[in-house]
Structure 1
Amino acid sequence: IEGGGAEVFTGADEVVLNTIGKKGELIIPGYKFITTWKDMYTVYGGEVDWWYGAMGSYVFSNELWSTTMMFNDESKTDAYEFDRLLLFEDAFIPWQEVDHPDYGKVEVGGGNKNFGRIHPGFLLESDAHRNAAFCIYNAWVSPKLEVRDVKVQNLGGGLKEVSATIVNSQLMPTHSGNNLRYKIDPPDYVYLEGGKVIAGMIVTDKDRNLSREQKRNPQRLEIENIPGYSHVNVKWIVKDGNKFTVRVESVKGGRASAQSE
């Protein structure tokens, strides 16, 4: 992703992926934040690509075990020395001559099937903990929506203005760039309950009191996306009612609600 990937990811998505990926390198020693097709090998129909392309999700494919863990040094990855000093020659079976029923005398031995791609047992607990911690970190930075500052203002003539702020207090947006591009998930819905809704608006500039009215189904405002560490202001003009509840529902961001005082 770094130094490229503009043809695949939006700028906003790169910020999210770079932030999480760099944190992964810190949490898991030896973990390299790379792009599979560019830095490893070409994959056709890969699951990681499918999750982003078809589901609009941010995806990382971290693995247990890295040769860097042998001696905590990227420059020292001699498997034979690691086996001799730390596995006590358990990883390699000495070569020996045997009689094969079809081929006669042959030699068997070499690398144990439990070494190489499989994690050495004594390092498993620490590495598994670090991988789990990275997965938990991914969950922690997923969108977290809150409804704040539900306020009611009397406009006269039996009308009231109900306003609220929908806050995303975490890194990930409710919709990735690919999610928006291909309309994979529905928008975030913000509902007003209580009273009869006359008009519903998404505030575009709070300081200048500028709003964009949603004329269809004004009681359920449609928010295309709520970016990470950001917020959206909404308001309604309502008739009747004294107690109002503002509720938000998002496929990726979950649900939240708050009531007016």
Structure 2
Amino acid sequence: MNAPSSFLAWTPASQIKIDDAEIRADQYGRCHLSDLHQASGGADKNKPSNFLRLEQTQALIQEIDRSSDMSTGIKPVEVIRGGLHQGTYVVKELVYAYAMWISPAFHLKVIRSFDAMATQRQLPDLNNPSQLRDLLLSYAEQNIQLSSENQVLTKAIETITHTEHGVKFQQACKILNVKQQELAEWLRKHNWDRYLNNARASTYYSENRGYCETKYSLKEGVKPSGQPYSYTQTEFFILPKGMQILAKRFGVKS
């Protein structure tokens, strides 16, 4: 999964520092909240749990979750339990909000540390043949990937604009050139679908964001005994907005 463009793409070698205190970050650029707390001085009144319980903080989390940057399914707040990387990780917007809640001085330190982190990314030495080669290869790979993603996205959009309700699961797999099991696992992991009466159906999360939709219709059937009966048919559709996200996610497979 690619991290949203508004996130800083950190690696262990380029972690942010505040007053020589290292702030851990996960693969999506979310910061370890306890590390920030320790960097601020570690006062009990500034514990991350106190900040996260605030009504204003919860409202901000909901707003971030509704934003377009969250369309990839990355959560604004994620708690990792157990292991070497356990803790609460939050996106940059919540880092700023937490720092501002603690004090103006710490808020300024965080802003300046983030700015310094961004400016530390040095340009490669174009006089170095090895670095120049790596740069050109990286550029070519990015262009190939972008072209592939755009082709799949265009194909998906062209297909689904001809139907009012988007496409069904099997159709989506063919358009995206992805195995059914792989797409099914992605949909479930990102809370896009669920099973209702042994049939795939959309969730409130995916419906609310316009990614998926479920249609219910009353059907008539005949039992082996010849007795007629009626039943409700459940049909799951991935809408144009959802297909755009999936095309970007699985486009590299084309």
Q: Could you tell me the TM-score, scaled by structure 1's length?
A: 0.22
Higher relative contact order (CA 8 A, sep 6+): 1
More helix by share: 2
**What is the TM-score with the length of structure 2 in the denominator?**
0.22
